[in-house]
Amino acid sequence: NHQFRLAARPVGLPKREDWSYTEEPVREPADGELLVKVLYLSLDPAMRGWMNEGKSYIPPVGLGEVMRAGGVGKVVSSKHPGFKAGDFVMGTFGVQEYALSNGKGVVQVDPRIAPLPVYLGTLGMPGFTAYFGLLDIGQPKAGETVVVSGAAGAVGTVVGQIAKLKGCRVVGIAGGPDKCRFIVEELGFDAAIDYKSDDVKKALRTHCPKGVDVYFDNVGGDILDAVLTQINLRARIIICGAISQYNATGPAKGPSNYMSLLVNRASMTGMIVFDYADRYPEAAREMAGWLTAGKLKSREDIAQGFQTFPETFLKLFKGENTGKLVLEVAKD
C-alpha cells in the first residue's frame, strides 16, 4: 500500500517534499472494519488548508499522517455489517492505494446511476456545496442576476447551472478563453468574464446591467472586491472559498469595498458544506434527477497515476483543471 504522508507544513505553494511517499503492507480488516481499494481520489483546494497548523473547521492533518482526501473505491473485504466485498463506496480514504475504515462517513455509491468520478464532483461534496450554498444562503429568485467565480471548476459549474435552472441570469468569472467558452457554450451561462484579460469591474457592468443579486465567491481577493462594487440592494454573497489566498505567505487579502454591504443592506455569509450533512441525500436525489434528465452537465478532469499526486494537486492553484479534478489511482 503506497501512501503520501504529510512531511512538512508548506510555505506558499506546496512542493513534493512536503509529503513523504511511503509503503506499508495491507492488513486484513478487523471486526467492524472494511478494506477499500481506492479507485479515484478527490483533489480539493481545501486540502491546502488542512496542511496548515491552527484552528479551522476541522483539525489539520498531523505531520506523518496520511494526507486527508476524499475518494471512491471498491470494498475488497469486509467485517462490517453494512458493507460487503464488491460494493462501491465513497469516503475520506486518504491519499493511499488501500484504506481500512470503520465505516464512519462511508456511503455506498451506484456506478449505474453515474460514473464513479461524478460522486467526487457533482454528486459529491463540491456539488452539495454548490447546491446548499446557492439555494440556502443565496436564495436566488427567477429574474435575478447570479455571479459565480471559479466558474469553470467543480463547484462553480454546478452553481451556474442550478442558477440557470432557477431562472436567473448567470455570469461566470473564470481564467482564460477556453473556460469562458466552455461555461457559456456547453453549460449555458449567459456570459463569462475572463479575469485574466478583462477588467472585471467593467465587464460586470456590461454583463450585469441590472446589478448583482447573488455572488457565489470561490476565489476571494481582488475579484470579490470588484463584485462588491456592483451589488444590488439586499444582495447575498456566499463566501464559499478564497482560493486566490490559500497560498499567501502573509495575511489573506480582505475586501476593501466592504462598505457596499452597508449601503446596500447586503449580507456576506460563510458556508461549510459539512453543516448540511444530514441533507446530502436530498441534494443527491435532486441533482441525480437533473443529471438523468439532461438538465445538469457534470464535468470531470481526470489525471492518471497515484505517484503524480503532488503535481496534480497543484493544477488547482494554476487553473489547469476544468471541472472536478480527480486522480485515478487504479482501474476497477
Q: How far apart are CA 227 and CA 267, in angstroms?
A: 13
Name the minimum Å distance from CB 307 to ligand NDP: 22
Return the range that interacts with ligand NDP (CB under 6 A); candidates 17-25, 103-111, 134-142, 235-243: 235-243
Q: Which is nearer to ligand NDP, 93 or 313 (CB)?
A: 313
Binding status of residue 3 toward ligand NDP by CB under 6 A: no
Among 106, 120, 147, 154, binds ligand NDP (CB under 6 A): 154
Q: How far apart are CA 224 and CA 261, in angstroms?
A: 12
Binding status of residue 14 toward ligand NDP by CB under 6 A: no
Q: Which is nearer to ligand NDP, 35 or 90 (CB)?
A: 90
Q: Which is nearer to ligand NDP, 97 or 217 (CB)?
A: 217
Binding status of residue 200 toward ligand NDP by CB under 6 A: no
Binding status of residue 127 toward ligand NDP by CB under 6 A: no
CA distances from 250 to 220, 222, 226, 325 (A): 15, 16, 21, 27
In the three-class reduction of DSSP (H, G, I as helix; E, B as strand; rest coil), residue 166 is classed as coil
Q: How far apart are CA 171 and CA 223, in angstroms?
A: 13
Name the minimum Å distance from CB 2 to ligand NDP: 24
Rounded (5°) CA angle 50-53-55: 85
Binding status of residue 276 toward ligand NDP by CB under 6 A: no
Q: Which is nearer to ligand NDP, 240 or 329 (CB)?
A: 240
How do beta strands 98-101 and 71-78 pair? unpaired
**Amino acid present at 68:** R
3-state secondary structure 44-109: CCHHHHHCCCCCCCCCCCCCCCECCCCEEEEEEEECCCCCCCCCEEEECCCCECEEEECCCCCEEC
Binding status of residue 161 toward ligand NDP by CB under 6 A: no
Name the minimum Å distance from CB 43 to ligand NDP: 8
Neighbours of 134 (CB within 10 A): 28
| Residues 298-327 contacting ligand NDP, CB under 6 A | 316-317, 319, 321, 325
Q: How far apart are CA 150 and CA 179, in angstroms?
A: 10
| Residues 178-197 contacting ligand NDP, CB under 6 A | 179
Residues that bind ligand NDP (CB under 6 A): 44-46, 125-126, 129, 150, 152-156, 174-176, 179, 218-219, 240-241, 243-244, 271-273, 316-317, 319, 321, 325
